[in-house]
């Protein structure tokens, strides 16, 4: 076993060597511009891009013409939401999203609010899922778009997208989903879920950084988007700019591998995740899982270790790469807004660790992480005034704290 251990696969993934092999010829040998229509260099590049388009479409049950390549999922989310808001502004100006979305969705919606759109941010229930009744109630005759993620990047919770898709369809409202964390990890089909727009990213799928895709439904309904990057009219006019051919080839190869290995990999990872969860619970008291365990990505675990602060925990396991929802680990100095939205209290957000397992995680690594974490949590609890107070029978929620 090699140290350090990477267990932060929701942040990014290494590129699979098979993906690298597929990409390499497109840097030096087949370097053509797919928009060059009159020589073989252009034709080769175009063929490679179309193969990749088919591979991405196959992963999500789409038609090949419905895939628009972008620089990543942030751009795909921007294009879907801003593009739809602009295109359908005659029809309405209301968008429905949710408080636990990725910032690429939330901040895009906030930008549109400044430009006059009205946005409803649905709360989530304790398990991290939205309430379908609250979604129904939020819909107005001005609602043009519902954007709800397929799986959350922090807590791995799967939203009821098939039900959301059905509601949107019945009301004639477009449904966009940020499928970055879900696609290739759990079955995700745009038709079964009645999704009209879906964002994908290569680097969460063992592909390269800097490339992603937006699925844009072409039939029933035919979705139109106002382009956000203007230029040569690439990608059906929705996203101009010379195509990132090696990146796109990498995304295609990564999508094909993810599809081929999805079932076995999901089973392997969920067994390993459950092993991690069980061993931590066997060793430690007062640890709390954040979000639904039933509706969850197979490779995600998000746990709060009560009375221990997340950054100090990460410091103690410095040969293991994981993330924390603690304020001290975020640029904003605020604890995770996703965990706060679950309503469990900010103190538990400060104490949370996100584990993201992946293609190269082993049982041996899981066991190492459990041992290491157990000893650090015990050590820090011995040092924690909160743990001491609780053991003395003090109710922390009734204390008058001197906030600063």
Partner 1 sequence: MAYSDKVIDHYENPRNVGSLPKDDANVGTGLVGAPECGDVMKLQVKVNPDTGVIDDAKFKTFGCGSAIASSSLATEWLKGKTVDQALAIKNTDIVAELALPPVKIHCSVLAEDAIKAAIADYKKKQDEKTGAVQPAAQPTA
Just list the catalytic residues: 328
**Any contact of residue 311 with partner 1 (CB under 8 A)?**
yes
Tell me the per-residue interface mask from 329 to 358 with partner 1, x by CB under 8 A, - otherwise: ----x-x---------xxx--x--------
Helix, strand, or coil (residue 290): coil
Residue 267 in contact with residue 277, Cβ under 8 Å?
no
Helix, strand, or coil (residue 68): strand
Tokens of 252: 């295609």
Q: Which of 224, 327, 359, 374 binds partner 1 (CB under 8 A)?
A: 327
Secondary structure of 225-294 in the HEC alphabet?
CCCCCCCCCCHHHCCCCCCCHHHHHHHHHHHHHHHHHHHHHHHHHHHHHHHHHHHHHHHCCCEEECCCCC
Shortest CB 312 distance to partner 1, Å = 5
Choice between 222 and 401, CB closer to partner 1: 401
Residue 157 in contact with residue 302, Cβ under 8 Å?
no
Choice between 19 and 348, CB closer to partner 1: 348
Choice between 57 and 308, CB closer to partner 1: 308
Residues in the chain, overall count: 404
Distance of alpha carbon 321 from alpha carbon 286, whole angstroms? 23
Choice between 86 and 286, CB closer to partner 1: 286
Choice between 38 and 332, CB closer to partner 1: 332
**Any contact of residue 315 with partner 1 (CB under 8 A)?**
yes
Shortest CB 399 distance to partner 1, Å = 8
Of the candidate spans 48-56, 75-83, 223-231, 322-330, the one that interacts with partner 1 by CB under 8 A turns out to be 322-330
**Any contact of residue 26 with partner 1 (CB under 8 A)?**
no
**Any contact of residue 28 with partner 1 (CB under 8 A)?**
no
- What are 118's strand-pairing partners? 94
**Any contact of residue 8 with partner 1 (CB under 8 A)?**
no
Binding positions for partner 1, 368-387, rule CB under 8 A? 382-387
Distance of alpha carbon 12 from alpha carbon 10, whole angstroms? 6
Q: Which of 328, 344, 360, 372 binds partner 1 (CB under 8 A)?
A: 328
Helix, strand, or coil (residue 322): coil
Q: Give the dihedral sign, CA 277/278/283/288.
A: positive
Tokens of 300: 């995600």
Burial class of residue 381 (count of CB atoms within 10 Å of its CB; 0-12, 13-18, 19+): buried
Contacts with partner 1, residue ranges (CB under 8 A): 307-309, 311-312, 315-316, 326-328, 333, 335, 345-347, 350, 382-388, 396, 401-404
């Amino acid at each position: 076993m090699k140290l350090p251990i990477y267990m932060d696969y929701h942040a990014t993934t290494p590129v699979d060597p098979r993906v690298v092999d597929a990409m390499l010829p497109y840097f030096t040998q087949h370097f053509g511009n797919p928009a060059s229509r009159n020589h073989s260099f252009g034709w080769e590049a175009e063929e490679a891009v179309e193969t990749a388009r088919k591979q991405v479409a196959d992963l999500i049950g789409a038609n090949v013409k419905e895939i628009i390549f972008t620089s990543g999922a942030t751009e795909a989310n921007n294009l879907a939401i801003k593009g739809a808001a602009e295109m359908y502004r005659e029809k309405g100006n209301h968008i429905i999203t949710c408080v636990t979305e990725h910032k690429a969705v939330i901040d895009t919606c906030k930008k549109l609010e400044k430009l006059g759109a009205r946005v409803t941010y649905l709360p989530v229930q304790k398990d991290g899922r939205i309430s379908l009744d609250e979604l129904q109630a939020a819909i107005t005759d001005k609602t043009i778009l519902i954007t709800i993620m397929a799986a959350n990047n922090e807590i791995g919770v799967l939203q009821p997208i098939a039900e959301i898709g059905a509601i949107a369809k019945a009301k004639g409202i477009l449904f966009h989903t940020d499928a970055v964390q879900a696609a290739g990890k759990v079955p995700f089909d745009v038709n079964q879920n009645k999704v009209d727009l879906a964002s994908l990213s290569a680097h969460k799928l063992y592909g390269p950084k800097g490339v992603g895709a937006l699925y844009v439904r072409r039939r029933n309904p035919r979705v139109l988007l106002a382009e956000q990057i203007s230029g040569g009219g690439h990608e059906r006019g929705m996203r101009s700019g010379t195509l990132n051919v090696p990146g796109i080839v990498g995304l295609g190869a990564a999508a094909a591998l993810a599809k081929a290995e999805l079932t076995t990999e999901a089973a392997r990872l969920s067994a390993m995740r459950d092993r991690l969860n069980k061993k931590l619970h066997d060793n430690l008291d007062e640890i709390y899982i954040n979000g639904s365990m039933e509706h969850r990505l197979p490779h995600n675990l998000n746990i709060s270790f009560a009375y221990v602060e997340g950054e100090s925990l990460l410091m103690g396991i410095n040969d293991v790469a994981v993330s924390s929802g603690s304020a001290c680990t975020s640029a904003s100095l605020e604890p995770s807004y996703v965990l706060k939205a679950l309503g469990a209290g900010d103190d538990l957000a400060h104490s949370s660790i996100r584990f993201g397992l992946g293609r190269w995680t082993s049982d041996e690594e899981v066991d190492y992480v459990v041992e290491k974490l157990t000893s650090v949590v015990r050590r820090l609890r011995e040092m924690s005034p909160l743990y001491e107070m609780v053991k003395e029978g003090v109710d922390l929620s009734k204390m008058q704290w001197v906030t600063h």
